[in-house]
């Protein structure tokens, strides 16, 4: 129940960061919309520049064409023939040659010439000479020396795309005037040029540019979104891990406070019991040496044995209750393990337990209190042996783990048994003081182990499933943090 509440507190602490993540995603969507609008604006400006360029190009063509027509056709024809009659095949042929020579090699699809009455007098295309045009306001503006350009065909297309095979042309209406030699001024307007340019290729280029701009913005927003999402998820994992670590530290602090109070009580009670117990034991030993009857000796022996057992239990209580005074010296964990396994050798042989050792640490030096670690592994191996009353395999493995950083090097010890395993419900309580699944156990063995490991700034965890044995993993740093000896602290 307590762990569930702790997880809820951790999740609640992450909610504010999730809100920030949602706001970041919302902001990203706004950026996406702005990017689309901006790409549309850039594309529109590009189309306007294209039209303006085409209009200026048409104006230059018209000026050159007006100059060539006036000097190469109009003026010579008036001088030689006195009047212009385009219905005359000869005049029409000369005008057609001048116009086509002028626009040759230029991006001009068609040229039409209208008189001031909007009658078509010349066309390089299939226009009917002498027909009345229906240009309207654009024609009037051109007569007033105001060029007008129109896209053809008009209308709005889906996404502005040009269908395959369709042509996009720009029709420009410009005035046709009388040239005045040696003057920059224009003479009177004679008619109107209708210059048609095929801008399909330029228009397709603009479409491709629009698509490139849109895709670039989408790619940019996609990269930005992926980056923000990656950072948000990583930050969320970091914050969650820190909150979990904080929760564990709080639980550890509360556990330490409870254990400290419990230890004070146990130390006081054990001290009060130990004194009369010592008297009982010494009296029973004295009685055993003086009585002669076999029956009385049996009773005195029982008193001595039970007193000794009770004294061992009190010693275990005091080991748990007394503050651990760490005296680290350079050592190797394999030497401590071999010392434990040597003591357990006879018991393992009696029960048919096979011991398998796998040491993979290489050359290293560990700063640790050998006696405290010896007591810790006494409890660990005792539990493992008790879990295999019918025999089995006891595996002991050591290795060096550094998580990719030399400063974080640790020695890791794995003790695995092939016994009955630990139930999932009991797995959460095995480090609690006085919790035991055995009838004759005190429930302090693993609590003492944890206290010793914590005093070495280490970690301990138990991995087990019912019926599949158990594995105890201990990780100890190779060097201990700086500490102040008790003698110096008292001074």
Q: What is the pLDDT of residues 275-307, one digit of tens each?
A: 677 777 778 777 777 777 777 777 777 787 777
DSSP-derived 3-state class of residue 462: strand
Q: Which domain holds residue 357?
A: 327-480
Could you tell me if residue 419 is inside a domain? Answer: yes
On the question of pLDDT at 220 being above 50, the answer is yes
Q: Does residue 433 lie within any of the structural domains?
A: yes
Determine the pLDDT at residue 19: 58
The CA-based angle 299-301-304, given to 5 degrees, is: 115
Is residue 141 in some structural domain? Answer: no
CATH classification of the domain holding 474: 3.30.565.10
Per the domain annotation, does 246 fall within a domain? no
Residue 464: helix, strand or coil by DSSP? Answer: strand
Query: Residue 155's pLDDT band (boundaries 50, 70, 90)?
Result: very low
Exposed, middle or buried by CB within 10 Å (0-12, 13-18, 19+), for 336? buried
pLDDT recorded at residue 126: 78
- pLDDT tens digits, 370-402: 888 888 888 888 888 888 888 889 999 999 887
Residue 128 resides in a domain: no
Sheet holding 410-417, edge to edge: 353-360, 392-401, 410-417, 470-477, 459-464
Burial profile 73-106: b = 16 or more Cβ within 10 angstroms, e = fewer? bbeebeeeeeeeebeeeebeebbbebbeebbeee
Q: Which segment of 130-144, 287-301, 339-353 scores lowest on mean pLDDT? A: 287-301
Q: Determine what percent of the chain falls in helix, strand and coil, rounding each to the nearest 5.
A: 60, 15, 25
Read off the pLDDT of each residue in 233-249 and give the average, rounded to a whole number.
83
* H or E element in which residue 418 lies: none
Given a cut of 70, is residue 438 above it in pLDDT? no
Specify which of 60-74, 225-239, 330-344 reaches the highest per-range mean pLDDT. 330-344
**Does pLDDT of 161 surpass 60?**
no
In a domain? residue 81: no
Per-residue model confidence (pLDDT) at position 5: 47
* Residue 479: CA count within 13 A, CB half-sphere: 7
Residue 203 to residues 4, 106, 194, 196, 415, Cα–Cα distance (Å): 65, 17, 20, 15, 76
Q: What is the DSSP string of 166-210?
A: ---EEEEEEEEE---TT-SS---EEEEEEEEEE-HHHHHHHHHHH
For residue 39, being part of any structural domain is answered with no
> Tell me, what DSSP letter sits at residue 456?
T
C-alpha–C-alpha distance, residues 443 and 436, integer Å: 4
Asked if residue 479 has pLDDT above 80, the reply is: yes
In a domain, 449, yes or no: yes
Residue 474 pLDDT: 92
In the chain, the number of structural domains is: 1
């Amino acid at each position: 129940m307590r762990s569930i509440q702790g997880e809820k507190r951790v999740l609640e602490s992450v909610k504010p960061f999730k809100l920030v993540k949602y706001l970041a995603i919302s902001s990203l969507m706004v950026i996406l919309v702005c990017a689309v609008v901006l790409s549309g604006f850039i594309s529109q400006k590009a189309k306007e520049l294209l039209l303006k360029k085409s209009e200026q190009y048409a104006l230059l063509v018209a000026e050159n064409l007006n100059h060539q027509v006036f000097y190469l056709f109009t003026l010579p024809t008036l001088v030689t023939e006195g009047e212009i009659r385009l219905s005359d095949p000869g005049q029409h042929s000369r005008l057609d040659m001048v116009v086509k020579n002028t626009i040759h090699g230029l991006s001009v699809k068609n040229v039409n010439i209208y008189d001031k009455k909007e009658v078509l007098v010349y066309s390089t295309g299939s226009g009917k000479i002498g027909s009345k045009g229906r240009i309207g306001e654009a024609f009037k503006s051109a007569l007033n020396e105001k060029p007008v350009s129109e896209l053809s065909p008009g209308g709005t297309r889906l996404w502005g795309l040009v269908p395959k095979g369709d042509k996009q042309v720009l029709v420009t209406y410009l005035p046709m005037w009388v040239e005045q030699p040696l003057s920059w001024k224009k003479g009177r307007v004679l008619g109107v040029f209708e210059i048609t340019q095929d801008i399909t290729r330029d228009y397709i280029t603009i479409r491709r540019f629009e698509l490139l701009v849109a895709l670039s913005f989408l790619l940019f927003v996609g990269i930005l979104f992926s980056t923000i999402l990656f950072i948000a998820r990583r930050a969320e994992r970091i914050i969650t891990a820190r909150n979990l670590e904080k929760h564990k530290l709080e639980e550890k602090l509360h556990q330490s406070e409870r254990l400290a109070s419990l230890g004070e009580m146990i130390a006081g009670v054990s001290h009060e019991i130990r004194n009369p117990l010592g008297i009982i034991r010494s009296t029973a030993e004295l009685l055993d040496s003086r009585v002669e009857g076999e029956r009385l000796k049996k009773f005195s022996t029982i008193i001595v044995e039970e007193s000794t057992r009770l004294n061992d239990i009190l010693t275990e209580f005091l080991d748990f209750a007394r503050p651990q005074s760490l005296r680290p010296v350079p050592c190797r964990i394999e030497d401590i393990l071999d010392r434990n396994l040597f003591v357990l050798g006879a018991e393992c042989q009696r029960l048919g337990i096979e011991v398998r050792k796998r040491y993979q640490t290489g050359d290293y030096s560990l700063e640790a209190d050998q006696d405290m670690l010896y007591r810790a592994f006494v409890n660990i191996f005792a539990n493992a042996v008790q879990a295999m009353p019918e025999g089995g395999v006891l595996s002991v493995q050591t290795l060096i783990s550094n998580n990719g950083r030399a400063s974080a090097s640790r020695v890791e010890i794995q003790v695995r048994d092939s016994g009955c395993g630990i139930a999932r419900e009991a797995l959460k309580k095995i480090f609690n003081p006085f919790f035991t699944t055995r009838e004759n156990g005190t429930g302090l063995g693993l609590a003492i182990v944890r206290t010793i490991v914590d005093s070495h700034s280490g970690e301990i965890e138990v991995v087990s499933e019912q019926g599949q044995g158990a594995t105890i993993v201990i990780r100890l740093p190779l060097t201990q943090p700086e500490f102040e000896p008790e003698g110096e602290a008292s001074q």
